[in-house]
Amino acid sequence: MDLLEYQGKQLFARHGLRVSDGRAVTSVEDAVSAADEIGYPVVVKAQVLIGGRGKAGGVKLAADEAEAREHAGNILGMDIKGHVVRTLWIEHASDIASEYYASVLLDRSAKQPLVMFSVEGGVDIEEVAEKTPEKLIRHHVDALAGLSREEAVDIAKQGGADADVIDGVADALVALYEVWLQEDATLAEINPLIVTPEREVKALDAKVSLDGNALYRHPENQELSDSENEDPIERRAKEEGVQYVKLDGDIGILGNGAGLVMSTLDVVAQAGGSPANFLDAGGGSDAEKIKQAVDLLLANEAVKAVLFNIFGGITRCDEVAKGLIAAFEDIKPSVPFVVRLDGTNDVEGRRLLQEAALPNVHAAKTMNEAAEMVVALAAGQSVGAAA
Amino acid sequence: MSVLVDEGTRLCVAGITGREGSFHTLNNRSYGTNVVGGVTPGKGGQDVEGIPVFDSWEQAMSEARPNTAMIFVPPRFAADSILEAAAAGVELVITITEGIPAHDELRVYNTLVREMKNAHPPTRLIGPNCPGILSPGKANVGIIPASFFNAGSVGVVSRSGTLTYQIGNEIAQAGVGCSSIVGIGGDPVPGSSFVDVLELFQADDETELVVLSGEIGGSAEEEAAEYIAEHMTKPVVAYIAGFTAPAGKQMGHAGAIVSGSAGTAAAKAEALEAKGVRVGRTPTETAGIAVEVLGGASLAAS
ipTM of the complex: 0.90
Search chain A and give the residue with CA nearest B111.
A144
Chain A residues 269-298 with a CB less than 8 Å from chain B? 269-270, 275, 278, 280, 283
Inform me whether the pLDDT recorded for A227 exceeds 70.
no
Does the CB of B180 have a partner CB in chain A at under 8 Å?
no
**CA A305 from centroid of its chain's CA atoms:** 27
CB contact at 8 A, B77 and B109: no
For the domain bounded by A232-378, which CATH number is listed?
3.40.50.261
Interface contact flag, B160 A181, Cβ < 8 Å: no
Cis peptide before A41 (omega within 30 of 0): yes
Q: Is B99 buried (19+), middle (13-18) or exposed (0-12) by CB count in 10 A?
A: middle
User: Residue B142 above 60 pLDDT?
Assistant: yes
**A130 φ/ψ angles, rounded to the nearest 5 degrees:** -85, -45
CB contact burial B170-206 (16+ within 10 A = b; e otherwise): bbbeeebbbbbbbbbbbbbbbbbbbbbbbbbbbebeb
Chain A, nearest residue to B113 by Cα: A111
Query: Between chains, do A217 and B101 touch, taking CB under 8 Å as contact?
Result: yes
Q: Tell me the pLDDT band of A384, cut-offs 50, 70 and 90.
A: low
Determine which of B95, B140, B144, B244 to mutate to test the interface with A (most A C-beta atoms within 10 Å).
B244
The domain ranges of chain B are 11-126, 145-301
Q: Is B120 a catalytic site residue?
A: no
Chain-wide mean pLDDT for chain B?
Answer: 93
Q: What is the mean pLDDT of chain A?
A: 92
Paired sense of beta strands B68-71 and B51-54, if any:
unpaired
Work out the pLDDT band at A70, boundaries 50, 70, 90.
very high
Determine which of A81, A186, A209, A213 to mutate to test the interface with B (most B C-beta atoms within 10 Å). Answer: A213
> What residues of chain A lie within 8 A of the CB of B161, using their CB?
257, 259, 283, 313
pLDDT (0 to 100) of residue B1: 72
- When pLDDT is averaged across residues A155-172 and rounded to a whole number, the result is 97
Cβ distance of B256 and A186 shorter than 8 Å:
no
Decide: A241 and B220 in contact? Cβ < 8 Å. Answer: no
Q: Distances in Å between the alpha carbon of A320 and those of A93, A265, B144, B160?
A: 57, 19, 19, 20
B25-39 pLDDT per residue, tens = 999 999 999 999 999
Instruction: Give the dihedral sign, CA B25/B31/B33/B36.
Output: positive
Q: What are phi and psi of A342, to 5 degrees?
A: -140, 160
| Cα-Cα end-to-end distance for chain A | 41
- Give the count of alpha carbons within 13 A of B297, CB side only: 18
Contact A48, A2 (CB under 8 A): no
Q: What angle do CA A183, A189, A191 make, to 5 degrees?
A: 150
What pTM was estimated for this model as a whole?
0.93
Task: Report d(CA A157, CA A149) in Å as an integer.
Answer: 12
Task: Name every chain B residue with its beta carbon within 8 A of the beta carbon of A181.
Answer: 103
Domain ranges of chain A: 21-92, 98-224, 232-378
Give A121-158 pLDDT, tens digit per residue: 988 888 888 899 999 999 999 999 999 999 999 999 99
Q: Does B11-126 match B145-301 in CATH topology?
A: yes
Among B101, B160, B166, beta carbon nearest to A184:
B101
The one-letter code for the residue type at B23 is F
Instruction: Encode burial over A136-168: b for 16+ CB neighbours within 10 A, e otherwise.
Output: bbebebebeeebeeebbbebbeebebbeebbeb
Q: Please check whether residue B109 touches A, CB under 8 A.
A: yes
Alpha-helical runs (H) found in chain B? 19-31, 57-64, 75-87, 102-110, 161-173, 194-203, 220-231, 265-274, 283-301
Query: Chain A residue closest to B215 (CA)?
Result: A259
CATH for B11-126, among 3.40.50.140, 3.30.420.40, 3.40.50.720, 1.10.3720.10? 3.40.50.720
CA B90 to CA A348: how far, in whole Å?
Answer: 41
Residue A368: its chain B contacts at CB < 8 A?
Answer: 282, 284
B131 in reach of chain A (CB within 8 A): yes
Name residue A50's amino acid.
Answer: I
Q: Which residues, including other chains, have CB under 8 Å from residue A368's CB and lie 6 or more apart?
A: A267, A271, B282, B284
Amino acid B259: pLDDT = 77
| Rounded Cα distance, A87 and A170, in Å | 32
- B117 in contact with A, Cβ within 8 Å: no
Cis before B121? omega within 30: yes
DSSP for residue B246: P
Q: Which of residues 274-293 of B touch A (CB under 8 A)?
A: 281-284
DSSP-assigned states of every residue in B70-129: EE-S-HHHHHHHHHHHHHTT-SEEEE------HHHHHHHHHIIIIITTTSSSPPEEE-SS
Q: Which residue, among A149, A173, A162, A155, has the nearest Cα to A199 in the 3D structure? A: A162
Residues of B in contact with A259 (CB under 8 A): 158-164, 186, 213, 215, 241, 252-253
- Domain boundaries B145-301, corresponding CATH code: 3.40.50.261
**In whole angstroms, what is the distance from residue A139 CA to residue A147 CA?**
10
For residue B226, give how far its alpha carbon lies from the nearest alpha carbon of chain A (Å).
14
Q: How close does chain B come to A329, measured CA to CA in Å? A: 29
pLDDT higher than threshold 60 for residue B94: yes
DSSP three-state, residue B236: strand
Name the minimum distance, in Å, from the CA of B245 to any CA of chain A: 7
Name the helix (H) or strand (E) containing B151. strand B151-158
B285-296 pLDDT, tens digit per residue, is 999 999 999 886
Query: If you average pLDDT over residues A301-326, what whole number do you get?
Result: 91
Who among B160, B189, B261 is closest to A260 (CB)?
A: B160
Yes or no, beta carbons of A143 and B106 under 8 Å apart = yes
Question: Which pLDDT value is given to residue B297?
Answer: 58
Query: A218 near A192, Cβ under 8 Å?
Result: no
Interchain contact, B244 vs A265, CB within 8 Å: yes
Task: Tell me the CA end-to-end span of chain B in Å, nearest whole number.
Answer: 20
Residue B163: name the closest of A257, A63, A109, A318 by CA: A257
In CATH, the architecture of A21-92 is: 2-Layer Sandwich (3.30)
Q: Give the closest of A144, A181, A343 to B148, CB-based.
A: A343
Residue B300 has pLDDT above 50, yes or no: no
CA distances from B233 to B144, B194, B199, B236, B276 (A): 28, 16, 11, 9, 12
Q: What is the CA radius of gyration of chain B?
A: 19
CA-based nearest distance A287→chain B, Å: 19
- Decide if domain A98-224 falls under CATH 1.10.1200.10: no
B301 has a pLDDT exceeding 60: no
Q: Look up residue B84 and give its amino acid.
A: E
**A257 — contact with chain B (CB < 8 Å)?**
yes
Closest-CA residue of A relative to B74 is A213
Q: Which of the residues B24, B103, B231, B253 is marked catalytic?
A: B253
